[in-house]
Chain A
């Protein structure tokens, strides 16, 4: 297949001109032709063709569940496609597993992390190489890797086990791993979801420069148009498992790309903020709360934090500064060592009964791990809060499967969760749809306190609009919302009040709204003020 025949398909989106930069990279280095992948009766990928040129930065766009991850996983041997072929350097190749891909110089950063949790960063990086020696000389490897890290814009601690790293650091480790492996073709599945905007710019800028210098090809899956317009040369758009368009980024407006992604659907409009619903009594009050060994990573030491009903308090901060612990305290996954947590004036112990009685709901980060049982069905997962109650809220002894299914069906409709059905295991859903399912569960029914951690992590723009609208609607109904997010734009867009966390403490507080000074917040996030 030549670049010309691929270029002919550009007229889909009215971009049939081949630009000079296109002509420079005459032939694709990696090409997938007519890939089809089915899961059971469900076709996740239908005859998709995509070509990557040397030195280009190619964006792959699509809604949650459009099949982006499935496409790249089928190209790289993680899945075995049911039809189609992969062509590398004009030759058809069989990539039976990711190791084959690595040998051919193709690397991938997966959407769900693929580091070994109990091993250190150093061990993970070394083990990812194709040529691991049978006896590893750690002193030598450490020296080589430290030298390599010196030359990189990203920093991670080498000797920390991965399960002690924050999501942001894990993501950086994943990216560093690929750079360390000197991949010729790099596939990134939503690499920037957990990075701060500054870090994301740094990483993508660095990769962009590397691509132009070394001829490395990058395929970037993302939901952020700003990244597409700032860094990418070309774009391919998927919708419901089929390719619906491709073209040069320069020829397409954000609006056109969005239209390709969602088809005819209308976007949710963010509801306006009602004035004055704020309650007099705080709904959530933390006083002198300590958790974890003080001074260590991720520990918490909050003197005072209050959230009133009807307001959204945003917690900004770089990942790893205690936000995870804060959420875990309220969800009951971690214990405080001292201090008190009160909800509506009552002491709060985070047990299921208390949470239910006080109407506390929680959307933690990495919901597939923290808020779901992967092998259980979507409907079971959605019923976690309510399976032991009947419609009127009184206790029942036997599960009412029919009602659970029906309820799941409703929520699947309302929150447009893409699933093969309510009885599919929740781990087969795409990343964004797991998020929606958990949110559906947590927001259903009355909620007095909602804690949301990175609620839009990995969601497409349509879903982001949906979920932000849901959060504001909850606030307008009088719910107290504690929003923990690493995305400063999101905090600014949603919060009535903003707190900045640094090394487990709240170091800065200000009112939200349009007048926010993001530079000052940024400085506090980084620890200088």
Chain B
């Protein structure tokens, strides 16, 4: 039986939303963060995400293991990433245009191959019950966390370390910040960028599997509500810092849960306005954190949007 929490239900729902909704944002933005650090933007991640959702669901259904589904989604993501990476390495090809094309290709292919998967039920990913200590059912529900969320947090911390302390991370930053310098120091440019885009694809694929195998936990054509695209903006907003990506993902997850939460406590009017909360939030934060003198500080200088 649900206990009546009154208005407390709202922050609780927002917390639950943060933990549940944020994961796809987190994975896509961490992957995109690596791609952008290398000097490329992959706008096609939305397509990769949707395809990943389909491939993950199908993989889990066929093998009977949700984790194999996640792996399959990631591997298909790598393929999309490689495709983007190679196409953009051809002379005079623009990464943004290729990204948009791949976004459409990814969703189209997912719908095409995913038709027969709408009916059958695939095994779902398990959850970690962080709220087991409480006997309030809503608290338990809110604190149910996917292992992928924890893995995402660990990846964010690992990336911070990689960017700061490891050779591969420093090479990545060099390639993204000054291709000339990297070339003069003899580091390869294209392989690094292709690798970084493939990693971004992997992460987006996994994010898709999370959608279909954990939350909301089914495969249909409306599975994504643009998480793949928003996550790309999140990276800019997080100023290319993986931990900030984590924070931004939480914020977006929480804001996204606001509308449904208000609706559930009986706010009947205007709650749908709160469905727009994440987008309004983005605009507000971008507005208030913008600065005339520090525009795009920290942006990799090789990015086509900053060049």
Contacts and interface: CB of A to CB of B under 8 A. Distances in A.
Contact of A136 (B167, B173, B184): B167
B170 A100 contact: no
A134 B167 contact: yes
A110 interface: yes
Interface stretch (A56-64, A113-121, A238-246): A113-121
B170 A132 contact: yes
Given A78-B184, A335-B293, A136 B177 contact: no
Contacts of B171: 127
A135 B161 CA distance: 9
B178 A98 contact: no
A240 B168 CA distance: 42
B165 A135 contact: yes
Contacts of A133: 167
Pick the most buried of B170, B181, B182, B293: most chain A CB atoms within 10 A of its CB. Answer: B181
A138 to B, nearest CB: 7
B193 interface: no
Contacts of A114: 178, 180-181, 184-185
A97 B168 contact: no
A395 interface: no
B186 A97 contact: yes
A118 B167 contact: no
Nearest to A103: B186
Interface in B273-307: 292-293, 298, 300-301
Nearest to B166: A135
- Which range holds the interface residue count of chain B? 20 to 34
B293 A102 contact: no
A110 B213 CA distance: 54
B67 interface: no
A135 B173 contact: no
Contacts of B115: none
Interface in A90-133: 97-102, 108, 110, 112-119, 123, 126-128, 132-133
A135 B168 CA distance: 9
Pick the most buried of A78, A115, A335: most chain B CB atoms within 10 A of its CB. Answer: A115
Interface residues of A, number: 28
A100 B185 contact: no
Nearest to B178: A116
Contacts of A112: 180
B174 interface: yes
B187 interface: yes
B183 A98 contact: yes
A112 B181 CA distance: 10
B186 A102 contact: yes
Given A127-B171, A335-B293, A136 B165 contact: yes
A116 B173 contact: yes
A133 B165 CA distance: 10
Contacts of B182: 116
Interface string B174-207: 1001101111111100000000000000000000
A119 B180 contact: no
A166 B252 CA distance: 41
A134 B180 contact: no
Contacts of A98: 183-186
Contacts of A134: 166-168
B161 to A, nearest CB: 9
Nearest to A129: B185
Nearest to B307: A375
A319 B296 CA distance: 26
A127 B175 CA distance: 12
B183 A128 contact: no
B37 to A, nearest CB: 10
A138 B177 contact: no
Nearest to A114: B184
Contacts of B180: 112, 114
A127 B170 contact: yes
A484 B187 CA distance: 37
**Which 6 pairs between the two chains have the least Cβ-Cβ distance?**
A99-B186, A114-B184, A98-B186, A114-B181, A132-B167, A118-B177
Given A113-B181, A132-B170, 12 more contacts: A97-B183, A98-B184, A100-B186, A108-B184, A114-B184, A114-B185, A116-B178, A118-B173, A118-B298, A127-B185, A136-B166, A335-B293
Interface of A: 78, 97-102, 108, 110, 112-119, 123, 126-128, 132-136, 138, 335
